Chains A and B, each alone.
Chain A
Amino acid sequence: MEQIFTLGFFITLLAATIRLSVPILLAALGGMFSERSGVINIGLEGMMLIGALFGVIGSYVTGSPWIGILFAIGGGILLALIHAYMTVSLGVDHVVTGIAVNILSVGLTSFIFRAMFGITTTPVKVNAFKPLAIPGLKDLPLIGPILFQQNILVYLAFLLVPLASLILYRTSWGLAIRTVGEHPKAADTVGINVVKIRYLCVLLSGIFAGVAGAFLSLGQFNMFVDNMVSGRGFIAVAAVIFGKWKPSGILAASLIFGLADALQIRLQAVGTGIPYQVFLMLPYIVTVIAMSGLVGKTTAPAALGKSYEKN
């Protein structure tokens, strides 16, 4: 048992933590924008799933994982449009619509996958993102192998954190988004277009979730299997809340969930005699513990989940 807790073990564990936190981070950052504008988005799971499939299709058809990413974004936008139309335009309950988006996505992706590739026993392999070691930095002791031998989407995802923070707190867009999520009527009275902002934020969450899904299918597993997101979208929803609707908090939350995931994979492999399903539960147990008040009182945007009607 003790020979596994070597330096090498920790390096690979932390490198995996970084990698596994990326899909959660991406989806959660998008979800943050949606929720900051007042729209609950638990459809992240479904949006990731369609992103995962469309990414594979795009890469399969064109041979380029980058085109795959564009496809994934398209898929995310498609589901996000449904979610935005239902919640913002029609005023349907956000949670109900989110559940519908998730269920729709499970069926839709399985159907499209079979329609395109037939019923196969061997998964379809496509061109995926390769690790991109950053010259100079990759050879740093400890930090190099942990941080700088990842694929390009990992770097992009982490760069999005300060960018999201900048947009949210320093720009007119960010203030408009925060205003709409807190008090849409007040936003209306200063001439902010509530419907437009909410649509854009939900679409943004669709884009981010689509990329997050493509990261799974093109950056981690290099294939699509049914329901491959397996709860990461829900964990992203939890990360938004756990991270108190702030980019920095969401980064921390995603890393914690990533660590739990990385740890459970390794514990499964060690052969402790404990059924591996116990370790499989780890990320979800962390989620439950995190949500049950570990972070103290969190204050959601005041108008979260509330539809806004002008008259």
Chain B
Amino acid sequence: MQPILKMINITKTFPGVVANRNVNLEVYHGEIHALLGENGAGKSTLMNVLYGLYQADSGEIYFEGKRVNFESAKDAIRAGIGMIHQHFMLIPVHTVLDNIIMGLPGDRGIFYDRALHRERVLEIAHRYGLEIDPDAYVQDLSVGAQQRVEIVKALYRKAKLLIMDEPTAVLTPQEVKELFSTLKKLSQEGMSIILITHKLNEVLEVADRVTVLRDGQVIKTLNTKDADEKLLAQLMVGREVNFVPAKSPCQPGPVVLEIKDLVVKNQRGITALNGLSLTVRGGEILGIAGVDGNGQTELAEAIAGLIKPVAGTILLNGEPIVGKKPRVITEKGLGHIPEDRHKRGLVLDFTLSENIILQSYYCEPWCGKFGFLNLNSIKSMAQELLEKYKVKAPHSEVAARTLSGGNQQKVVVAREISRRPKLLLAVQPTRGVDVGAIEYIHEQIIKERERGAAVLLISTELSEILALSDRIAVIYKGQIMGEMTNDNPDINEIGLMMAGIRKKKEAS
């Protein structure tokens, strides 16, 4: 059978980096083909080349047997390729219908016949069981619904090959299941699908074949029947990977963090935390699972003193910290790995050593008498930390911006852990970080627990919660839906709680 897509010897370089080197990829009709690789392995670049957003330096692309050369996304769309980006390409303030028809030519001259489009969109949505409301505004939709809009958008443009870039990153387990059944349905109807991912279980669950990329090169293409997680991880990272870091049994100490009936309003004045309570003891990791946007950010910021709660108490080692300044809370023993390393964790244009002293620049030994910084000791300390925490950087005086995401995150982790916090607040500690760095950061978090620190881990990656936590609490709409020890927990039940459905026993 003739493949629908053939990419031959694709090479694409950016200044200083070879993103793709002689990459070959074949995708068959009706196949779900996974493109597996770590961040920076060149998956997205390859797909952007295919979709006409980038031009390859060399190589050939054949689509439906014909040599093609897409100069823009318009060409690719016209040929029948649809791409669903990791960050949705939707306009929040436009309606679903406008988002689907944007970029299409007018129907009568430059005028749109929206009624006609509306009907056709609903027809397609119905045929594939993709429930959407064409008149809703995208900003009011859940992430899962937005993804359905993206899929309909591609189908509406008569896509024959669908590229999906990390589609599950923002979904609940249930939404992931729904998405996968949609993808299978589409592929049965003859749609070819390329699934870009770095999650091994997804590859095995939904894909027919998988091509593994590493450092811009194809390592291997194989049938998923012949693969397992261990093999794929090894191909992807180039060495053996420990998925579940070794942990000693949990020996909880005294309560370090106690939160009672916390109520927090977010910047828009909407109640984000609604009477949330939890405790974390020394030497244990409490994992907060939940779908993004259920109050996780506000919980972390309230603990760190970045926003002031409306009501409730937060005790750190028995002392109330509500209303205290972030610096005071930091000095009382909080280590904070923030959710967004670009916004909160680092000053990207500062050097690594400047970033490392961000919270403690005013104390000895960084700051001497009369307020002068002690540059030599700062530098040597920074250099030491970079080595200890295996940050890949030329030296401590380069701007944080120049590092890869994983190494930037390691700098944040190094800074927070080196202050030996009593409470480590880790929010999405491995978001956008590759498998190697994930493994390393996880080890460090576990080391902190072993040292006796209390760890509050907030993550939307359920696998991360399951791998690290001693106890698991699920957050939904600013409240804890339920709590359990991480001892063969019922994943289905966690998933239901993440979607706001309480345990069956309590409901009945």
Contact = CB atoms under 8 A, between A and B. Distances in A.
B430 to A, nearest CB: 26
A186 B90 contact: yes
Interface string A297-311: 001001000000011
B106 interface: yes
A182 B93 contact: yes
Contacts of B93: 182, 299, 302
Given A189-B53, A189-B85, A191-B72, A172 B90 contact: no
Interface in A175-199: 175-176, 178-179, 182-183, 185-193
Interface residues of B, number: 30
Contacts of A185: 89
Interface stretch (B96-104, B309-317, B449-457): B96-104
Interface string B119-146: 0000000000000000000000000000
Dominant SS among interface residues on chain A: helix
A171 B83 CA distance: 25
Given A179-B102, A190-B73, A299-B93, A311 B110 contact: no
Contacts of A187: 102-103
A111 interface: no
A167 B109 CA distance: 12
A175 B74 CA distance: 16
A210 B51 CA distance: 40
Contacts of B104: 172, 190
- Among A173, A190, A193, A311, chain B packs the most CB atoms within 10 A around the CB of A190
Contacts of B75: 191
Contacts of A175: 94, 98, 101-102, 112
B97 to A, nearest CB: 10
A171 B102 contact: no
A172 B91 contact: no
B370 interface: no
A283 B102 CA distance: 39
Given A171-B111, A182-B94, A190 B89 contact: yes
Contact of A190 (B14, B94, B103): B103
B155 interface: no
A186 B153 CA distance: 12
Contact of A178 (B54, B77, B94, B101): B94
Contact of A179 (B53, B83, B103, B105): B103
A189 B74 CA distance: 8
A188 B74 CA distance: 8
B116 to A, nearest CB: 14
Contact of A183 (B53, B78, B91, B111): B91
B103 A171 contact: no
A185 B51 CA distance: 13
A191 B91 CA distance: 15
B111 A191 contact: no
Interface string B145-170: 00000000100010000000000000
A191 B53 contact: no
Contacts of A170: 111-112
B103 A192 contact: yes
Nearest to B87: A185
Contacts of B111: 170-172
Given A175-B112, A179-B94, A188 B106 contact: no
A191 B112 contact: no
Contacts of B72: 188, 191, 193
25 contacts: A171-B106, A171-B110, A172-B106, A172-B112, A175-B94, A175-B98, A175-B101, A176-B102, A178-B94, A179-B91, A182-B94, A183-B89, A183-B91, A187-B103, A188-B72, A189-B53, A190-B73, A190-B74, A190-B103, A191-B74, A191-B103, A193-B74, A302-B93, A311-B14, A311-B54
Given A175-B98, A179-B91, A191-B74, 19 more contacts: A170-B112, A171-B112, A172-B104, A172-B105, A172-B110, A172-B111, A173-B106, A175-B102, A176-B102, A183-B89, A186-B90, A186-B91, A188-B73, A189-B51, A190-B103, A191-B78, A192-B102, A299-B93, A311-B14
Interface of A: 167, 170-173, 175-176, 178-179, 182-183, 185-193, 299, 302, 310-311
6 cross-chain pairs, A with B, having the tightest CB-CB distances, nearest first:
A191-B74, A190-B103, A186-B89, A172-B106, A171-B110, A182-B91
